[in-house]
Chain A
Amino acid sequence: MTAENRSADLGLDVGGRPGGGWGPSAEGAGPWRLGLRRMRRNPVALAFGALFLVLVGACVAAPVWADEIAGTGPFENHLSDTVVVDGETTNVVGFDGVPIGPTYQGEFFLGADSNGRDIMVRLLYGGRNSLMIGVVAALITTFVSIFLGLLAGYFRGSVDWVISRALDVMWSFPVIILGVALGVSLQLGGLKLGPIEIEGGSLAIPTLVIGLVYVPYMARPLRGQVLSLREKDFVEAARAQGAGPVRIMFSEILPNLASTILVFGALLVANAVLLEAALSFLGAGVQPPEPSWGNMIREGVNRIASAPHLAIAPGVMLTLTVLSLNVFGDGVRDALDPRAKIRVEH
């Protein structure tokens, strides 16, 4: 039986979503095409999705800004330099230690920090770090969650018991606490797991930590879905055909998890970016001088009385990024789970 036949014949109902996602069902467009159509009718979500891409693009283009416009890198101090603003020559960092505010010019567009570094440049480079950590961490969470969710949900029994208990225990630690605990420990000592060795100061540490910390939040719902999916007729049918568990998990069950994973995806990245900011703010994430929005806010908060612009810029960037992910993620969820949307317009 081909995938198309299966969807059409059995009229699947996976938690309100028709079909598995492999193409059109017997009548009209398949669930993915319908979802896309619904997305197109949601201009707000699309706009924020575009905003996110713009922000990502800007951060990716950080070197361009740094080289062409600002003329400085993220680590270069200009403590004793001067800059020309509106015809006047001012110190980058004043004698009282107060750095210059936004100039809205090429150099020091958003001002400088107390080390005389260009905030805009650091903002973009920091964005690179924060976003990269957020996205990669979300990917880690996704893969590990799928793996654990499939195993626990499909094999049940003792495998499920062990995995579920492990998730329960992880669940007992608030995300920040666990993140901090792991972050601090691993930073002090680095990580050595068999052949993999990571240094304490590497960006991989916060990435891994954040990726792991969110696993229970995704693995549990996925496990629940797998548990109910495995009882469905099409799985029975595949088993009757002689398909082994691995094949069933990957070609029958996994595609049906796709929409849940997608919805989770955007929200995961949003939360991962926020968590990275929190960890870096506390000192358990990205270590200075490497920039990240989180540790830039920390520096800003420390000097908020004298130089508020230090805190405002990274905070606004962070909020905009997370907001656009949240709105877009919401839109994806509404598009893929029409039941929810239809109920609203009653």
Chain B
Amino acid sequence: MSGPLLSVEDLHVTFRTEEGDVRAVDGVSFTLERGEVLAIVGESGSGKSATVMTLMGLTRSANAGFKGWARLDTGDGELDLVSATDEALRRVRGSRVAMIFQDPMTSLNPVYRVGDQIVEQIRAHERVSEAEAMDRVIQLLDRVGIPRARERVRAFPHEFSGGMRQRAMIAMALSCQPDVLIADEPTTALDVTIQAQILERIRELRESADAGVILVTHDLGVVAEIADRVAVMYAGQIIEQGTLDEIFYDPQHPYTWGLLGSIARVDRPRPGRLPAIGGMPPSLHDLRVGCRFRTRCPHEFAKCAESPPLEARAGGAGDHLDRCWLPPAEKAERREVGGQIGLGRKEPV
């Protein structure tokens, strides 16, 4: 059992649309170890959801094209999720790799009982009787903190609250003891108090099952709570990648500075206005050569016209990667804005 649990190499996902080809995921690579939580951070359209959905095979369709590899250690060998057959992928989906989606309200089928829906998943992958499966489901619901689980299995989704539904979804995802759990914005649709509980469940899972967790989110607060490593995505690429401390205390890319600068922090004086990153992400139909962030970056210079590769520039162990041409010394200086890390405004030309 050596080597990473999941190894994604140079993944490209392109969608053919009426208006042209959309390069939703454009050369993404990362690894996931057992027992670690990798957070993928980015705004809408950055490609983070497309990446994880592709790992599950949920983006396969007539107008989608894929390149690259996503090698999963299945215990007795390796499976490339990108090129695997539909059937091979189906066997792995839900059993070795499971996913929790953003909106618990609509993610459960309204006409079947909650318990039956989880039993369905178990029996799709394992040879167990209905009764055995149902027992396991009751235990699972109990473990995720749903009270009176024995009665609740017979309930319909609309009889559950939002937080309970998300917990049921987690129970469902965990039902076959997956090695990789992907959580796509699991707390976005829930209120803050429930959010903490959900994160707690995810943390427990990581510890008890030694599974790897990929957490997709745009919320840095959630990242700080639970992540071990962070990958920041922008316009289909990873633009910075490192440990939690590295990203939060020694960020190397202006976009990351912008993200960090735009959150309100308890330990600093309140700014008059939360700074936002001006401008818009580039259209994915029409990607040009050069750094994709340059149109919004106040620190851009001549070299930015060349596409920056993802490399370790900051020194250290060599695992902290970024895509910014600026020399590290300059970065340390430029990222201090008003006493904290931030992006600063781009001056109009």
User: Is A–B contact present in the complex under a CB 8 A cutoff?
Assistant: yes
Which residues of A does B touch, CB under 8 Å?
A: 345-346
* Chain B: minimal CB distance from A13 (Å): 16
3 chain-A/chain-B pairs, Cβ below 8 angstroms:
A345-B18, A345-B63, A346-B61
* Chain B: minimal CB distance from A21 (Å): 24
The count of residues in chain B whose C-beta lies closer than 8 Å to any C-beta of chain A is 3
**For residue A346, which residues in chain B have a CB less than 8 angstroms away from its CB?**
61
In the bound assembly, the distance between CA atoms of A345 and B18 in angstroms comes to 9
| Closest residue on chain A to residue B61 by CB atoms | A346
* Chain B: minimal CB distance from A344 (Å): 12
| Closest residue on chain B to residue A27 by CB atoms | B280
In the bound assembly, the distance between CA atoms of A346 and B15 in angstroms comes to 10
In the bound assembly, the distance between CA atoms of A1 and B18 in angstroms comes to 37
**For residue B61, which residues in chain A have a CB less than 8 angstroms away from its CB?**
346
**For residue B18, which residues in chain A have a CB less than 8 angstroms away from its CB?**
345
* Chain B: minimal CB distance from A57 (Å): 34
In the bound assembly, the distance between CA atoms of A345 and B19 in angstroms comes to 13
**For residue A345, which residues in chain B have a CB less than 8 angstroms away from its CB?**
18, 63
Instruction: Convert B1-38 into 0s and 1s, putting 1 for each residue whose CB lies closer than 8 angstroms to a CB of A.
Output: 00000000000000000100000000000000000000
In the bound assembly, the distance between CA atoms of A346 and B18 in angstroms comes to 11
In the bound assembly, the distance between CA atoms of A345 and B61 in angstroms comes to 11
In the bound assembly, the distance between CA atoms of A346 and B63 in angstroms comes to 8
| Closest residue on chain A to residue B280 by CB atoms | A27
* Chain A: minimal CB distance from B16 (Å): 10
Which residues of B does A touch, CB under 8 Å?
A: 18, 61, 63
* Chain A: minimal CB distance from B64 (Å): 10
In the bound assembly, the distance between CA atoms of A296 and B18 in angstroms comes to 47
* Chain B: minimal CB distance from A259 (Å): 22
In the bound assembly, the distance between CA atoms of A345 and B63 in angstroms comes to 9
In the bound assembly, the distance between CA atoms of A346 and B59 in angstroms comes to 10
* Chain A: minimal CB distance from B348 (Å): 20
* Chain A: minimal CB distance from B192 (Å): 23
| Closest residue on chain A to residue B17 by CB atoms | A345
* Chain B: minimal CB distance from A39 (Å): 15
* Chain B: minimal CB distance from A337 (Å): 17
* Chain B: minimal CB distance from A167 (Å): 28
**For residue B63, which residues in chain A have a CB less than 8 angstroms away from its CB?**
345
In the bound assembly, the distance between CA atoms of A345 and B64 in angstroms comes to 12
* Chain B: minimal CB distance from A172 (Å): 28
In the bound assembly, the distance between CA atoms of A181 and B63 in angstroms comes to 54
In the bound assembly, the distance between CA atoms of A345 and B62 in angstroms comes to 10
In the bound assembly, the distance between CA atoms of A197 and B18 in angstroms comes to 57
* Chain B: minimal CB distance from A100 (Å): 54
Give the 3 A-B CB pairs with smallest separation, nearest first: A346-B61, A345-B18, A345-B63
| Closest residue on chain B to residue A41 by CB atoms | B18
* Chain A: minimal CB distance from B1 (Å): 39
* Chain B: minimal CB distance from A10 (Å): 20
* Chain B: minimal CB distance from A35 (Å): 16
* Chain A: minimal CB distance from B280 (Å): 10
* Chain B: minimal CB distance from A340 (Å): 15
In the bound assembly, the distance between CA atoms of A345 and B15 in angstroms comes to 12
In the bound assembly, the distance between CA atoms of A134 and B18 in angstroms comes to 38
* Chain B: minimal CB distance from A245 (Å): 33
In the bound assembly, the distance between CA atoms of A345 and B16 in angstroms comes to 11
* Chain A: minimal CB distance from B15 (Å): 11
* Chain A: minimal CB distance from B63 (Å): 8
* Chain B: minimal CB distance from A61 (Å): 40
* Chain A: minimal CB distance from B28 (Å): 23
* Chain A: minimal CB distance from B130 (Å): 34
In the bound assembly, the distance between CA atoms of A346 and B61 in angstroms comes to 7
* Chain B: minimal CB distance from A311 (Å): 45
* Chain B: minimal CB distance from A26 (Å): 13
| Closest residue on chain B to residue A346 by CB atoms | B61
In the bound assembly, the distance between CA atoms of A324 and B63 in angstroms comes to 32
